[in-house]
Amino acid sequence: MSMPLLGDKFPTLEVQATHGKMVLPDDLKGKWTVLFSHPADFTPVCTTEFVSFQKHKKEFDEINTQLIGLSIDQVFSHIKWIEWIKEKLEVEIEFPIIAATDTLASKIGMVHPGKGTNTVRAVFIIDPEGVVRTILYYPQEIGRNIPEIIRAVKALQKSDAQGVATPANWPENELIKDRVIIPPATDCESAAKRTKEYECFDWWFCHKEA
């Protein structure tokens, strides 16, 4: 089993999806991407996740982020499942779902050797240049928290735009609320200036308005 690591380019893959053939990461450029795998179609936890991703799709759109699902089920299974979700749950799944082969899923670390052929609940957040920026793993028994994935994308975008770090639970941190953290000083001179330039608990922990 292998998988791309943080900071790696997402591997080039030609895939079949419910919206037609795709080439990753070429077809992702210019947008942030949340690529998430699920163990199987027509399963309860996965169904709740897909409904939640769709319910939050507008929020992903607003932050220039596209959603792509993936499992080892064939395309016809994906199509039938999203038809069932629309008919029974009155939710139309608008994002593509990739039909992965065992080899493809293993190549990107979405198959756990102890879980048979089912893909695990993996999430890759990929930036507009095709670079993997965040990887999240969940067991089959636990559904994902979609607002946390949105928060992670927003935090990455904030970090890239301003060269800062974001605190725990940002933008609702217990110490500095929605403020952001200044990168650590790299020499004695800049360390001495820090407390005069920013609000700080100490020179190594300074923050500012986002």
Residue 108 to residue 161: CA distance in whole angstroms: 28
Fill in the DSSP letter of residue 118: P
Fill in the DSSP letter of residue 43: -
Fill in the DSSP letter of residue 177: B
Active site residue 46: yes
Q: Are 107 and 2 in contact (CB under 8 A)?
A: yes
The single-letter code of the amino acid at 78 is: H
Residue 196 to residue 96: CA distance in whole angstroms: 50
Write a three-state SS string for 80-92. HHHHHHHHHHCCC
Q: Active-site residue among 46, 188, 200, 206?
A: 46
Ordered alpha helix ranges (H), the chain: 44-55, 57-62, 75-89, 102-107, 146-162, 188-197
Catalytic (active-site) positions: 46
